[in-house]
Amino acid sequence: MRINEHLDYKIEPIKVDFQDVFISEDLIIQDNFKFDFFNCKICFSVVRDPISCNFCEDLFCSFCLDICLNKKNRCPHCRGSPFYKRKINKNLKNILNEIDIKCPLFCNEIFKYKNLEKHLNLCTMLSKIYICNLCSYHVKVEENDLKQVKIHNDECPEILYKCPDCKKNFNKRVINEHMTFCEEKLFKCLNCSLKIPKKFSNSHKEFYCKLLSELNKKFEYFFEKYKI
């Protein structure tokens, strides 16, 4: 009989870095937002942590730009060289911060661009790691799909079962072997047909079985003699 019907898990959300999200045009709520101006000319997402070119003033994500500048110190768009990083001006930054966007992880929440990083730490659609408290097995869950958790719930090697014979608890790894050799398991003696616990098998064969056989013979003699 299974003891743990439902396993307990420790849940740890998997953080999504700001630089790993992609903000496409269809996530922007404002109709008049100039996407072509505010998109990164490398990844074509709405710029994140924006940097401006000192030649053409085009915008880039700082982390996209770092990858390009590691190869050549020139603007990835206009090829101007040498490239000097410039933060975008305050007015442009304010416009960007105030645009309304849908969650790039598709949780359907809408918020200001300036709150994106904060939301990424709280989003309900974050992938999660379920850590089994019995065996510490890690199950990655995406979009709240608990199918793999349910599979582990049936297969966890540390699930406890109660032996029907000795009533002690054993984990799944050893319960089958234990039940085969459990000392409290009843077996039927082939000689006397008596059912006894396995732990008494030797003493039964050496003494009690012979005694019972002799008693049966005496009873048979008695019944036969007196026609009972």
The DSSP code sequence of 150-199 is HHHHHH-TT-EEE-TTT--EEEHHHHHHHHHH-TT-EEE-TTT--EEEGG
pLDDT tens for each residue of 68-109 = 999 899 999 999 999 988 989 899 999 999 999 999 988 889
Domain with CATH 3.30.40.10 in the chain: 24-101
pTM for this predicted structure: 0.59
30, 99 Cβ separation under 8 angstroms: yes
Q: What pLDDT shows up at residue 216?
A: 63
Least confident of 2-11, 69-78, 93-102, 201-210: 201-210
Least confident of 28-37, 60-69, 106-115: 28-37
Residue 121 has which token pair? 């730490």
- Mean pLDDT for the stretch of residues 162-185: 91
Residue 33 has which token pair? 């937002």
The tokens 């999200």 sit on which residue? 21
**Is pLDDT above 60 for 221?**
no
Least confident of 34-43, 52-61, 122-131, 192-201: 192-201
Q: What pLDDT shows up at residue 82?
A: 92
pLDDT tens for each residue of 150-169 = 999 999 999 999 999 999 99
- Mean pLDDT for the stretch of residues 203-217: 69
In sequence order, what are the residues at sequence separation of 6 or more whose Cβ sits closer than 8 angstroms to the Cβ of residue 167?
A: none
Phi and psi of 83, rounded to 5°? -90, 130
60, 76 Cβ separation under 8 angstroms: yes
Secondary structure of the chain in HEC code, one letter for each residue = CECCCCCCEEEEECCCCHHHCCCCHHHECCCCCCHHHHECCCCCCECCCEEECCCCCCEEEHHHHHHHHCCCCCCCCCCCCCCCCEECCHHHHHHHHCCEEECCCCCCCEEEHHHHHHHHCCCCCCCEEEEECCCCCEEEECCCCCHHHHHHHHHCCCCEEECCCCCCEEEHHHHHHHHHHCCCCEEECCCCCCEEEHHHHHHHHHHHHHHHHHHHHHHHHHHHHHCC
- The segment with the largest mean pLDDT, out of 49-58, 140-149, 194-203, is 49-58
Peptide bond into 82 cis (omega under 30): yes
Domain spanning 24-101: which CATH class is it, in words? alpha beta
